[in-house]
């Protein structure tokens, strides 16, 4: 078999890795200069950094075994600390009831409890939107403090026009009631969002995908960097080739795509107009990361902070000093990453690096977190189309596109971009594993069912420093 894989993110790279164990004739096409997608690591100021914070965690034994197979012993367990930064105060995330109420002060805390009680007496009926879903579980007051500002920074649309799927996948069954119960009685059977530790590679998150790429090359496969794909070619409802940007056409027995779903579908040669129109309505959000090299250590203890303060444009702040020492090398400085989000047509997307770095410096100083430490350097990294936007009613748009793609033989779409799923690393890895099984073993895994709310584990386990511990 000859197999083409489009995109070297976690899903595409995992598919190539698994397929390479049995097949030599594999071509993996990546538009950029390195593998890993949004989970890649880059060298910056003699240190390693990720494209924003990327922790790996899974309860699925299959995924964990594969991750350990690649990482070997070259990882550490990191104690997770992620907090919300709001009005120059820090609140634990996920929310710890007593911590949040104490930090808010008596008047606001009382208002939050009253608001939560009112929600229990007269619940919000429409929970189809992010706003309704969160208000139903936390009350109006806590929703406005801890969810609204950050979420609207991330998505650029009002919370009452964002589908509840985002909340269901990211917050799951968590509520203020559960937080209070946990605070009083302890937490038996931790919810996934409450994970206190995660495994992190010595070479940064991207180390996993770099090693997968090395394995694919060793087995005879090709990793074709800086090689964007123009389109997938189909004939009589069967995918048979890809066309490169220069017009070159290469035929394959199977084509696995993790390129943005909207681009892939609208460029298919036989796609019906109604499907093309639906795909064109699927939107992606862009990310801009401003890295700043701060000449100080021990700035703040968090891995990352969610920035809820409305007077700051950034939405998330990562401190790469607080991951594993191996990524810092001999350097004594701290690299902070400030994340901003926007759409293609926003003027912000067109800002040059100097302007963005100045904004980053101003905002980082405004937090008070670095005091008077010198900021010696800045670097800007832009990611186009990285977050699938779950706008209200997106499923009605996506479903006919999914159904059409299911009818095309030998075409497999996977990954956050490819399947328009707001995946974590583990679920993109699982997509890559299962698409390989579909091809190699004629399995019939429904890849569309896999996303961040996928909990159908055949066997549950967690990674520890000494290896896998089955639950």
Residue listed under structure tokens 């069954």: 173
Q: Are 56 and 67 in contact (CB under 8 A)?
A: yes
List all residues 6 or more positions away from 139 whose beta carbon is below 8 Å from its beta carbon: 112, 115, 116, 117, 118, 119, 176
Task: Tell me the C-alpha distance between 178 and 194, whole Å.
Answer: 12
Q: What is the pLDDT of residue 191?
A: 47
Which regions of 35-139 does DSSP assign to beta strands (E)?
41-44, 47-50, 75-79, 82-86, 89-92
Six-digit token string for 94: 């996920």
Q: What is the pLDDT of residue 180?
A: 59
Q: Are 26 and 216 in contact (CB under 8 A)?
A: yes
Q: What is the pLDDT of residue 106?
A: 86
CA distances from 92 to 134, 149, 196, 300 (A): 17, 16, 12, 14
List all residues 6 or more positions away from 286 whose beta carbon is below 8 Å from its beta carbon: 341, 342, 343, 344, 349, 382, 383, 384, 385, 386
Q: E strand or H helix at 214, and its extent?
A: helix 207-218
- Residue 454 above 70 pLDDT? no
Nearest by Cα to 159 from 193, 177, 135: 135
Q: How confident is the model at residue 193 (pLDDT cuts 50, 70, 90)?
A: very low
Task: Tell me the C-alpha distance between 155 and 112, whole Å.
Answer: 25
Q: What is the pLDDT of residue 145?
A: 86
List all residues 6 or more positions away from 397 whose beta carbon is below 8 Å from its beta carbon: 278, 281, 282
List all residues 6 or more positions away from 262 whose beta carbon is below 8 Å from its beta carbon: 279, 280, 282, 283, 284, 420
Q: Are 9 and 416 in contact (CB under 8 A)?
A: yes
Strands 3-6 and 254-257: what pairing?
parallel
Q: What is the mean pLDDT of the chain?
A: 91
Share of the chain above pLDDT 90, in %: 79
The answer to which of 186-190, 239-243, 379-383, 403-407 has the lowest mean pLDDT is 186-190
Region 403-424: mean pLDDT is: 95
Q: Are 142 and 117 in contact (CB under 8 A)?
A: no
Strands 316-319 and 254-257: what pairing?
unpaired
pLDDT tens column, 321-379: 999 999 999 999 999 999 999 999 999 999 999 999 999 999 999 999 999 999 999 99
Helices 207-218 & 61-71 angle (0-180, nearest 10): 80
Q: What is the pLDDT of residue 160?
A: 95
- Residue 146 above 90 pLDDT? no
Which regions of 321-420 does DSSP assign to beta strands (E)?
334-342, 375-388, 411-413
Q: What is the pLDDT of residue 114?
A: 93
The answer to which of 122-126, 187-191, 234-238 has the lowest mean pLDDT is 187-191
Domains along the sequence of the chain with CATH:
3-73+203-280+392-453 (3.50.50.60), 82-194 (no CATH), 284-388 (3.90.660.20)
Nearest by Cα to 425 from 2, 123, 50: 50
Task: Tell me the C-alpha distance between 142 and 179, whole Å.
Answer: 13
Q: What is the pLDDT of residue 217?
A: 98
Q: What is the pLDDT of residue 103?
A: 87
The answer to which of 18-32, 186-200, 315-329, 443-457 has the lowest mean pLDDT is 186-200
Task: Tell me the C-alpha distance between 186 and 194, whole Å.
Answer: 12
Q: 288 or 195: whose pLDDT is higher?
A: 288
Six-digit token string for 458: 């055949």
Region 54-69: mean pLDDT is: 93
pLDDT tens column, 167-181: 877 776 566 666 555
Task: Tell me the C-alpha distance between 337 and 379, whole Å.
Answer: 9
Q: How confident is the model at residue 23 (pLDDT cuts 50, 70, 90)?
A: very high
CA distances from 29 to 3, 229, 242, 245, 452 (A): 11, 7, 10, 12, 26
Q: What is the pLDDT of residue 267?
A: 96
Q: What is the pLDDT of residue 457?
A: 52
Q: What is the pLDDT of residue 456?
A: 54
Region 430-451: mean pLDDT is: 93
Q: 88 or 293: whose pLDDT is higher?
A: 293
Share of the chain above pLDDT 70, in %: 93
- Residue 49 above 50 pLDDT? yes
Region 301-307: mean pLDDT is: 96
Q: Are 239 and 233 in contact (CB under 8 A)?
A: yes
């Amino acid at each position: 078999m000859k197999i083409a894989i489009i995109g070297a993110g976690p899903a595409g790279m995992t598919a190539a890795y698994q397929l390479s164990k049995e097949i030599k004739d594999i071509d993996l096409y990546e538009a950029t200069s390195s593998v890993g997608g949004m989970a890649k690591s880059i060298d910056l100021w003699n240190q390693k950094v990720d494209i924003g914070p990327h922790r790996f965690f899974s309860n699925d034994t299959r995924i964990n075994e594969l991750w350990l197979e690649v990482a070997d012993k070259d990882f550490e367990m990191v104690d997770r600390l992620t907090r919300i930064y709001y009005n120059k105060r820090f609140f634990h995330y996920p929310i710890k009831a007593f911590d949040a109420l104490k930090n808010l002060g008596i008047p606001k805390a009382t208002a939050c409890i009253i608001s939560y009680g009112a929600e229990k007496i007269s619940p919000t009926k429409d929970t189809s939107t992010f706003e309704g879903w969160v208000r139903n579980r936390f009350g109006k007051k806590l929703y406005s403090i801890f969810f609204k500002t950050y979420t609207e920074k991330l998505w650029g649309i009002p919370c009452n026009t964002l589908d509840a799927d985002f909340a269901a996948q990211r917050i799951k069954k968590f509520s203020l009631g559960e937080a209070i119960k946990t605070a009083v009685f302890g937490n038996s059977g931790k919810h996934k969002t409450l994970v206190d530790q995660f495994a992190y590679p010595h070479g940064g998150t991207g180390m996993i995908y770099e090693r997968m790429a090395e394995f694919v090359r060793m087995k005879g496969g090709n990793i074709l960097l800086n090689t964007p794909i123009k389109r997938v070619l189909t004939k009589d409802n069967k995918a048979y080739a890809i066309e490169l940007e220069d017009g070159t056409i290469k035929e394959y027995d199977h084509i696995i795509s993790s390129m943005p779903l909207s681009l892939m579908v609208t460029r298919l040669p036989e796609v019906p107009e109604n499907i093309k129109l639906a795909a064109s309505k699927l939107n992606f959000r862009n990310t801009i990361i401003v890295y700043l090299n701060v000449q100080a250590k021990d700035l703040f203890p968090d891995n990352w902070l969610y920035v809820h303060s409305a007077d700051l444009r950034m939405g998330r702040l990562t401190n790469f000093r607080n991951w594993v020492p191996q990524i810092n090398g001999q350097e004594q400085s701290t690299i902070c990453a400030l994340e901003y989000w926007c759409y293609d047509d926003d003027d912000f997307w067109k800002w040059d690096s100097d302007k963005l770095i100045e904004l980053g410096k101003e905002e980082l100083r405004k937090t008070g977190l670095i005091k008077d430490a010198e900021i010696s350097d800045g670097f800007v990294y832009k990611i186009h189309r990285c977050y699938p936007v779950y706008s209200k009613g997106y499923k009605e748009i996506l479903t006919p596109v999914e159904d059409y793609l299911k009818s095309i033989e030998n075409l497999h779409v996977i990954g956050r971009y490819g399947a328009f799923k707001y995946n974590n690393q583990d679920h993109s890895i699982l997509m890559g594993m299962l698409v390989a099984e579909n091809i190699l073993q004629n399995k019939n895994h429904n890849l569309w069912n896999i996303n961040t709310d996928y909990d159908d584990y055949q066997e549950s386990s967690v990674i520890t420093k000494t290896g896998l511990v089955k639950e």
